[in-house]
Structure 1
Amino acid sequence: MDIVNILRDKILNSVDELVEEKKIQQPLNIDNIVVERPKKQHQGDYSTNVAMVLGKALSSNPRDIGELIKSKMGYEDIIDAVSLDGPGFLNIKINLKFWDSLIIEIMSNDKSYGEDRFGSGRKVNLEFVSANPTGPLHLGHVRGAVFGDALARLLEFVGFKVTKEYYVNDGGAQIGILVRTVYYRYLQTLGDDIALPEDSYPGDYLLPVAEKLLDKYGKELKNIEEFERDKIIRNFSLEYMMKVIRSDLASLNIEMDNFFSEQTMINSNAIETALSTLKDKGLIYNGIIEAPKGKTHTDWEAREQMLFKSTKFDDDIDRPIKKSDGSWTYFAPDLAYHADKLKRGFDVVIDILGADHSGYVSRLKAVIKAFAEKRVEFEVKLVQLVKLIKNEKVLKMSKRAGDYILIQDLLEEVSSDFIRFVMLTRNNDVPLEFDIDLMLSKSKDNPVFYVNYAHARITSVLKRAKELNMWPLSKVEDLEKRTFPLIENELTLVKKLSEWPNVVRQSAKFHEPHRIAFYLNEVASSFHSLYQSSYESGSYRFIVEGAQELCANRLALANSTQIVIKNGLSLLGIVPLDEMY
């Protein structure tokens, strides 16, 4: 039961009635009409800007329109009262019986409370991480990995069919550097006194690859032809590094559905096929592009080259497809890869990239528009950097990696569930600070602790109630006969729980799973406030001796809160704690 959608439907029905009665004109756009919880409690349970939106669209007085809509909104079942406030906001007070019925609904639906099917089975390709297979995953990859996995869980919860995809960059120059570095490490392992070349990958993480290479081939690789040797090292190293990457992802509770190989795509002539399609559409030509603006490029040479007419689709410039030596530009495989996504029939394509890829957005949008044969939703989500802090100092180095903090380094400090939650406490396009000391603290300033503490408290309460034969309830429906009205803090918590379906919908609609982390913190805050509250009769208790019916009501509220917290953490890929550490 999504109270926000219910109210919005009632409001729009009222508008339709007024249009039919010719009291107002048909508005052209109703997308800006929102129903939300007001900031001030005296303004009702929900507020809507419908009169303000229609007043502007129809050049009418918002308060006059507000009065008309107010007269059309029936006060049966859900709505208890509607009032007009300020320049034209409509404030809605909900019938108290609704809040009682909501608790029953939450308990009856359990894991499916908040579930929405607006995805309607549409297919989503969600590409994320896609780190070069030249080393383990590091801090720079963690945020995008967690964000992508949480978004996938969220989209599946609302009815999409999601393919989580990792694009394996195994076809570029970086693989040559990997092969060379592993070979030099192999020689060092054999005892050769040899230094790594300048353009090698630093750190110790490739030593195990060299050692396993030595175990399998002995000294044989020193004595075979270079081309064959590099081929062996390439295949061996890529297989090893992809096992490491899969293991790193698994340690964060992430499992990909598909690993898409760039080299396999290149070998299948997919780039040539994609370019042939674009040529048929008149979107490939030979031309000369201008030198990059803003700086003087002494090595710039104007020359004719193969170009994709991406400016036809609002890109800044037409994009080169081939380099001067005849090899493909970095953009060429990207173009073919996105053409392949569309060929596989996805309705929604989402790329999650690092903030340093912001310049790629317009060209990728152009590719989708050029190849799409049907309406395809495409979005690029850019993930900002994470700053790791410990003892009030920024950590920057890892001996194993050379320049980066590895995922395994981070996991030695905090659990994967803590990492996941913290990575989702900010919008993806906002830089994030990960303070290890804060995450290990037991305070409300630590959101991971605060939410889990609420869940653990409820687990303890229900466990004690079960020992006293007060839980579980024999029939959830018996709560409808309750005679104890909700007190203020209980009502505040129930109202917060009512927001969950709309939080899910909005998080999925805008691809913003951080909204769930925010919301769970608010739920935990409301619960802790109730748990610690005091009244004339003394401190608040969920279990009160000699008051079976009162306890049943309060335990049902606690259980409903636990259900929402558990469902929310599940969408974030986190297992809630039943006991605090």
Structure 2
Amino acid sequence: MNLFSEIGTLVTQAIAALQSEGALPEDLNLAPVTVEPPRDPAHGDMATNAAMVLAKPAGKKPRDIAEALVPHLTADPKIAEASVAGPGFINMRLADSVWQAMPRTVLSSGERFGRSDMGAGQSVNVEYVSANPTGPLHVGHTRGAVFGDALAALLDYAGYSVTREYYINDGGAQVDVLARSVYLRYLEAHGHEVEFADGTYPGDYLIEVGQALRDKVGDAYVDAGEEVWLEDVREFATDAMLDLIREDLKRLGIEMDVFYSEKSLYGTGRIEAAIEDLRAKGLIYKGVLEPPKGKTPEDWEPREQTLFKSTEYGDDVDRPIMKSDGAWTYFAPDIAYHYDKVSRGFDQLIDVFGADHGGYVKRMKAAVAALSDEKTPLDIKLTQLVKLFKNGEPFKMSKRAGTFVTMRDVIDEVGPDVTRFVMLTRKNDAPLDFDFDKVLEQSKDNPVFYVQYAHARISSVLRKADAAGINVSDAALAEADLSGMIHPSELAVAKKLAEWPRLVEIAARGHEPHRVAFYLYELASELHALWNKGNDVPELRFLQEGDPATSQSKIALARSVAVVLASGLGILGVEPAEEMR
């Protein structure tokens, strides 16, 4: 149940009543009418802009419409008070009975509370991580992985059909570099002295891969030239790296539905088919690009190239898809890959890229718009950098990786739950400081602890109540008499619970899973505030000694908080804590 939608229905019914009275015209567009929390909670529980947005099409003053709506709204028992503010906003206070019913609604719905059918089963492809298969995932990949996975879970929760996809960048020259690096480790496994030249990967993570290659082929490649071993070693090394990546993702609780190989696009006609689709639409031509202002990009050549007319779809310049020597640019297989996604019939596409791909956004959106005849929207989310700190100092590089801090390093330090939650405590396009000491701190300033502590506190109450013989099943708590729930601290918890269904839809619509983390912190804060009030006001304590009926009503509120906390943490991929040590 979305209480904001329910009150929104009351507003539209009040508008309809004015229309039937002839006070408002019949053909009004009600889509802009909203019901939201007021900016200042002191003004009420909810506010509507109905009079403001209907005034011009109705040819009336906003305050006149607002004053006419108020009596219709207050006629409903859910609305305790409605008043006109400013130029015509309507502020509403809901009856206490509405908030008192909230725990019952949550407990009766269980984990379904907050789930939405907004997505209506639309298919969404979320592509995330998609790191080059040349080594273990690093901390930057970790943020993209967590963001993408939480976004996929959020969309699923909001009623979409979600496919989680990893695009394997195994078609470029970097995979040949990986093969040569593994070959050096292979020689090393045979007792040879080796030297890692600039551009090769010296990380210790390839030692085991070199040894595994030795175990597989013996000394067959020791004195052989690249023409003998490069292709085989490339495939062997790529498979080994993908196994490593899958293992790291699994440690973080991430499982992909699809791993899509870039290499599968080459030599199969798929790139050619995508380009021909664009050519048939008059979007491929031969031309010479003007030299760009400022820094010269890698794909610019002062000579005739094959270009995609991406400026037709909002890009700044047209983009090369084939070099003058006939080789594809990096953009061409990416076009073909998204052509494949469009062909698979997804209703929406979402790509999660690192911040260094910001220059790729317009061209990729242009390509998808062209390929889908502007029918398939593509949203590209950029994840900003993560700065790691420990003991007040930047965190040292990983010896195993050689040049960077790995996902595994982070998980080993703080665990997957903390890693995931912290990565969502900032919006994806804002830089993130990850302090290993602070994320393990047991204080209100640490949102991970604060939210988990709230769930653990409730679990402790349930255990004590059960030991005291109080029936704390959800079914029993849902039947508790909640009419005595009148204290402002109790009502504040119920009001925050009521925001959850609306928050889910807002976060899903904006592709913003960080909103869930923020909300959980706010809900936990209300629970902790109520708990602390109980230290001074015994009547607010969840366990009322010798009074099982009152205890049930108090615990019903707490348990409903636990239900929502668990649902929200589930979206973030975090296990709720039953107790804190």
Q: Report the TM range for the smaller structure's normalisation.
A: over 0.9
Range with greater deviation from structure 2 (486-495 or 189-198):
189-198
Aligned equivalent of 1:93: 93
Partner Cα distance (2:333, 2:187) in 1: 33
Range with greater deviation from structure 2 (45-54 or 291-300):
291-300
- SS of the aligned residue for 2:378 comes to strand
Give 1:446 deviation, angstroms: 0.6
Give 1:477 deviation, angstroms: 5.3
Aligned equivalent of 2:495: 495
Is the 1:533–1:539 contact (alpha carbons within 8 Å) kept by the matching residues of 2?
A: no
Give 1:509 deviation, angstroms: 0.9
Is the 2:485–2:491 contact (alpha carbons within 8 Å) kept by the matching residues of 1?
A: no
1:352 to 1:59, Cα distance in 2 relative to 1, 3 A? farther
- SS of the aligned residue for 2:221 comes to helix
Aligned equivalent of 1:276: 276
1:33 to 1:383, Cα distance in 2 relative to 1, 3 A? farther
Structure 1 unaligned blocks of 5 or more: none
Range with greater deviation from structure 2 (129-138 or 280-289):
280-289
Give 1:151 deviation, angstroms: 0.7
**Is 1:465 equivalent to 2:465 in the alignment?**
yes
Range with greater deviation from structure 2 (62-71 or 125-134):
62-71
Structure 2 unaligned blocks of 5 or more: none
- SS of the aligned residue for 2:328 comes to coil
Give 1:172 deviation, angstroms: 0.5
**Is 1:285 equivalent to 2:285 in the alignment?**
yes
Give 1:27 deviation, angstroms: 8.4
1:39 to 1:529, Cα distance in 2 relative to 1, 3 A? farther
Residue deviations 1:420-470, cap 9 Å, x none?
001111111111111111111110101110011110111010011011111
1:208 to 1:69, Cα distance in 2 relative to 1, 3 A? same
Residue deviations 1:236-255, cap 9 Å, x none?
10110000000010011000
Aligned equivalent of 1:110: 110
Structure 1 counterpart of 2:443, which letter? S
1:5 to 1:483, Cα distance in 2 relative to 1, 3 A? closer
Q: Scaled by the length of structure 1, what TM-score is found?
A: 0.95
Aligned equivalent of 1:351: 351
Partner Cα distance (1:564, 1:24) in 2: 41
Give 1:546 deviation, angstroms: 2.2
Aligned equivalent of 2:64: 64
Give 1:225 deviation, angstroms: 4.6
Partner Cα distance (2:195, 2:112) in 1: 59
Aligned equivalent of 1:84: 84
Structure 2 counterpart of 1:512, which letter? E
Structure 2 counterpart of 1:486, which letter? I
- SS of the aligned residue for 1:413 comes to helix
Aligned equivalent of 1:189: 189
Is the 2:477–2:553 contact (alpha carbons within 8 Å) kept by the matching residues of 1?
A: no
Aligned equivalent of 1:316: 316
Partner Cα distance (1:374, 1:10) in 2: 37
Structure 2 counterpart of 1:92, which letter? M
- SS of the aligned residue for 1:222 comes to coil
Is the 1:27–1:57 contact (alpha carbons within 8 Å) kept by the matching residues of 2?
A: no
Structure 1 counterpart of 2:287, which letter? G
- SS of the aligned residue for 1:533 comes to helix
1:339 to 1:108, Cα distance in 2 relative to 1, 3 A? same
Aligned equivalent of 2:530: 530
Aligned equivalent of 1:568: 568
Partner Cα distance (1:126, 1:66) in 2: 43
Structure 2 counterpart of 1:280, which letter? A
- SS of the aligned residue for 2:120 comes to coil
Aligned equivalent of 1:390: 390
- SS of the aligned residue for 1:352 comes to strand
Aligned counterparts, 1:27-66, within 5 A? 32-55=32-55, 61-66=61-66
- SS of the aligned residue for 1:321 comes to strand
Partner Cα distance (1:549, 1:40) in 2: 36
Range with greater deviation from structure 2 (153-162 or 198-207):
198-207
- SS of the aligned residue for 2:64 comes to helix
Range with greater deviation from structure 2 (376-385 or 388-397):
388-397
Partner Cα distance (1:400, 1:26) in 2: 70
- SS of the aligned residue for 2:404 comes to coil
1:535 to 1:444, Cα distance in 2 relative to 1, 3 A? closer
Give 1:49 deviation, angstroms: 2.7
Residue deviations 1:315-338, cap 9 Å, x none?
111111112322110000011011
Give 1:233 deviation, angstroms: 0.7
Structure 2 counterpart of 1:493, which letter? V
Aligned equivalent of 1:201: 201
Partner Cα distance (1:392, 1:497) in 2: 37
Give 1:15 deviation, angstroms: 3.1
Aligned counterparts, 1:215-364, within 5 A? 215-295=215-295, 301-364=301-364
Aligned equivalent of 1:521: 521
Aligned counterparts, 1:3-22, within 5 A? 3-19=3-19, 21-22=21-22
Aligned counterparts, 1:95-174, within 5 A? 95-174=95-174
1:83 to 1:322, Cα distance in 2 relative to 1, 3 A? same
Is the 2:289–2:301 contact (alpha carbons within 8 Å) kept by the matching residues of 1?
A: no
Aligned equivalent of 1:478: 479
Structure 2 counterpart of 1:426, which letter? R
Give 1:209 deviation, angstroms: 1.1
Give 1:158 deviation, angstroms: 1.5
- SS of the aligned residue for 1:463 comes to helix
Partner Cα distance (1:27, 1:547) in 2: 57
Give 1:383 deviation, angstroms: 0.8
Give 1:192 deviation, angstroms: 2.4
Give 1:37 deviation, angstroms: 2.2
Structure 1 counterpart of 2:376, which letter? V
Partner Cα distance (2:160, 2:59) in 1: 40
Structure 2 counterpart of 1:425, which letter? T
Partner Cα distance (1:262, 1:296) in 2: 26
Is the 2:535–2:541 contact (alpha carbons within 8 Å) kept by the matching residues of 1?
A: no
Is the 1:291–1:302 contact (alpha carbons within 8 Å) kept by the matching residues of 2?
A: yes
Range with greater deviation from structure 2 (10-19 or 254-263):
10-19
Partner Cα distance (2:188, 2:205) in 1: 14
Structure 2 counterpart of 1:190, which letter? H
Partner Cα distance (1:475, 1:375) in 2: 50
Residue deviations 1:337-395, cap 9 Å, x none?
11100100000100111111111111111111111157222211111111111111122
Partner Cα distance (2:132, 2:39) in 1: 46
Partner Cα distance (2:299, 2:373) in 1: 40
Structure 2 counterpart of 1:5, which letter? S
**Is 1:424 equivalent to 2:416 in the alignment?**
no
Q: Scaled by the length of structure 2, what TM-score is found?
A: 0.95
Is the 1:352–1:383 contact (alpha carbons within 8 Å) kept by the matching residues of 2?
A: yes
Partner Cα distance (2:69, 2:194) in 1: 82
Is the 1:352–1:380 contact (alpha carbons within 8 Å) kept by the matching residues of 2?
A: yes
Is the 1:389–1:434 contact (alpha carbons within 8 Å) kept by the matching residues of 2?
A: yes
Partner Cα distance (2:67, 2:18) in 1: 11
1:475 to 1:193, Cα distance in 2 relative to 1, 3 A? closer
Give 1:88 deviation, angstroms: 2.5
- SS of the aligned residue for 1:196 comes to coil
1:57 to 1:399, Cα distance in 2 relative to 1, 3 A? farther
Is the 2:28–2:54 contact (alpha carbons within 8 Å) kept by the matching residues of 1?
A: no
Residue deviations 1:158-177, cap 9 Å, x none?
11111100000010111111
Partner Cα distance (2:11, 2:304) in 1: 60
Give 1:472 deviation, angstroms: 2.0
State how many pairs are aligned. 580
Partner Cα distance (2:285, 2:409) in 1: 49
Partner Cα distance (1:272, 1:18) in 2: 61
Partner Cα distance (2:244, 2:115) in 1: 35
Partner Cα distance (1:324, 1:247) in 2: 41
Is the 1:352–1:382 contact (alpha carbons within 8 Å) kept by the matching residues of 2?
A: yes
- SS of the aligned residue for 1:188 comes to helix
Root-mean-square deviation over aligned CA pairs: 2.2
- SS of the aligned residue for 1:82 comes to strand
Aligned equivalent of 1:552: 552
Structure 1 counterpart of 2:486, which letter? L
1:107 to 1:395, Cα distance in 2 relative to 1, 3 A? same
Partner Cα distance (1:512, 1:390) in 2: 28
